[in-house]
Amino acid sequence: MRDGAGAGSGEAIVRRFVAFTGTVTGAAAVVVALRGLLGGRREQLDVYFADGSFVTFVDGSAEAERLLPLARQVLAAVHQTPSEWPIGE
Amino acid sequence: MHGDSVSDGMEAARALADLVEISPQIEAAIVFGDDEEPLGAVGVSDWWATAVARAGKALLAGAGQFRSEGGPVTQLHASLGDGDVFVVGQARSRAIVAVTAPGQPAGLVFYDLKRCLASLAARELQPDPAPEAKHARRRWGRKRGGDRA
């Protein structure tokens, strides 16, 4: 009787642990998915050359830091947000 | 010369109107020459079109400075948080800047922008109708008007 109760208690602990781990993993997966869908879009610049080659400058690189403000100026002008103009001239 | 620029502007306006008709994802587009002056714009006021043309030319020129091989820059695409910017052309010739919502297919936008520039070049190659032909057309139009009256 006592042995059976001990086995049941151990099983309950394992179940709780599995449920807790599953919940944490699921929550992390949801957060990652939402970041990817909503706010995870990284700013970058793709430059194409006459020979067909191209290079990507990701946000944070020296090239992107110089060129992306110009692209932001274009967006600001089209969206007519003068407070963003001019940037980094 | 002034007449040429007016004609260029009209041709650019037509080409841009065609562009936004076939490419509804394009919010605004500006065609500009090697002097940074906008030849035509759609989706943005004239004052801002000048600013966009200058920024577009600076983008082309600036991107070309980071690499010596591969030839000149022919097109670029900036992915930003609240929109995408596309530039097609070369720093010392006619070029076009376009703005779209985020996440538009770049290949499709590039294709439409190149097509717009090509159509603009093709329209310029078409010779103006001869003066005799213009008069003939006008006389023909008057005659029809006279028939109606």
pLDDT tens digits, B58-106: 999 999 888 777 789 999 999 999 999 999 998 778 999 999 999 999 9
B99 reaches A (C-beta below 8 A): yes
User: Contact B80/A71 with Cβ under 8 angstroms?
Assistant: yes
CA distance B42 to B113: 13
Chain A contact set for B85 (CB, 8 A): 71, 74-75
pLDDT tens digits, B118-147: 998 887 777 655 555 555 454 444 444 444
Gap from B34 CA to chain A (nearest CA, Å): 18
Closest to B55 (Cβ–Cβ): which among A49, A50, A73? A73
Gap from B124 CA to chain A (nearest CA, Å): 24
pTM of the predicted structure, to 2 decimals: 0.70
ipTM of the complex: 0.77
β partners of residue B97 = B30, B87
Give me the DSSP letters along B57-84: HHHHHHHHTT-SSS-SEEEEEEEETTEE
Domains in chain B (CATH in brackets) are: 2-148 (3.30.450.30)
Give me the average pLDDT of each 10-residue run along chain A (89 residues): 64 88 85 66 91 92 94 92 51
Gap from B56 CA to chain A (nearest CA, Å): 7
CB contact under 8 A, A41 and B74: no
> Taking every pair of C-alpha atoms in chain A, what is the biggest distance, in angstroms?
83
B61 reaches A (C-beta below 8 A): no
